Amino acid sequence: MKILVTGTAGFIGFHLAKYLINRGDQVIGLDNINDYYDVNLKYDRLKNTGIPKRKVAYNKLIKSRKYSNYQFIKLDLEDRENMFQLFATQSFDVVCNLAAQAGVRYSIENPHAYVQSNVVGFVNLLECCRHYDIQHLAYASSSSVYGLNRETPFETTHTVGHPVSLYAATKRTNELMAHTYSHLFQLPTTGLRFFTVYGPWGRPDMAYYLFIKAILANQSIKVFNQGNMARDFTYVDDIVKGIVKVIDRPAMSNTNWDAHQPDISSSTAPFKIFNIGNNQPVNLLRFIEIMEEKIGQKAEKIMMPMQPGDVQVTYADVTGLINELGYQPTTTLSEGIEKFVDWYRAYYKVHTERVPAVLTE
């Protein structure tokens, strides 16, 4: 297939692009390479896929020096004119949208960035898919949409009407917009609610990344909600395999859908929402303990209250993805953390000047 993957200078998008390239798909990666976190890390991800930094210019397709079936373009989803031009000239079969303004707490201080990228940018993408006969749009949602819901494990049939951050609200908005286009234009769309993805080449603003930096620098780490937190930590390779299964199976109409008892994760339209996670929540203190074991060094912990916009537990029910698409995460937490620690040490040994500062958040 010819696949557009947005967000390929980002964490998950980078890994997904490499997987699709290696299995033989024609892939075009797109990213605006914003400065939400260290752009050097983003350019190094691109370099790993054969895209040299000095060649990157806005709205210019660059051929990979490493893979004959990969090209990259720096472009904003909000740039409607150039997005339409890209679709008009490339004849994509499938689109996977992983580009977004990320971060829960950052959305409290910078709401307009989230509206522009996650809402305006997403409707531009929907319009492109509609007008250029895309066979399937798969897109990233988030576990944060469950908001104030306390019934665990989170199921895709649960209510998601009470988000606690603007980031979560924009992701729920994406799901609603996608359903509208599936209903009006028969565009197959599948949303994936991600649960705490971790692994090599990860995001420096994520807690596990901040933990290893601080521990190796003999600095204290902040443990929020007194450590009374649990996350459904999912290794990036498992996530990518799940995304690929979704990409390969376009959403279909649910012929048993009942308007009197509506399932919000499916529809009479070709629309579907899945949770994608590890289905095994881990206490934050246990996660830190395993990281200490793999690093070989203890962390000095500062216990902190809960942060605004955060939730105490994320726990994915991934039954739908398992039963319908055969998804099965296989990487244990110990294996995944060890791989991340090994990558971190290797990467920052080469790029010592780029070790990220410990963020106050």
pLDDT of residue 251: 97
Stretch 170-189: mean pLDDT: 97
Ranking 87-96, 209-218, 268-277, 346-355 by mean pLDDT, the lowest is 346-355
pLDDT tens, position by position, 117-131: 999 999 999 999 999
pLDDT tens, position by position, 181-208: 999 999 999 999 999 899 999 999 888 8
| 138 three-state secondary structure | strand
pLDDT of residue 236: 97
Question: What is the overall mean pLDDT for the chain?
Answer: 92
DSSP per residue, 200-256: TT--TTSHHHHHHHHHHTT--EEEGGGG--EE--EEHHHHHHHHHHHHTS-----TT
Distances (CA, A) of 33 to 41, 57, 138, 244, 361: 10, 11, 21, 24, 22
Instruction: Find, among 97, 114, 99, the residue nearest to 167 by Cα.
Output: 114
Instruction: Please identify every residue annotated as catalytic.
Output: 167
pLDDT of residue 354: 57
Stretch 307-328: mean pLDDT: 86
70: β partners: 27
Stretch 61-65: mean pLDDT: 97
Query: Which two structure tokens, joined as six digits, stand for 48?
Result: 């790993």
Per-residue pLDDT at 104 exceeds 80: no
- pLDDT above 90 covers a percentage of the chain that reads 71
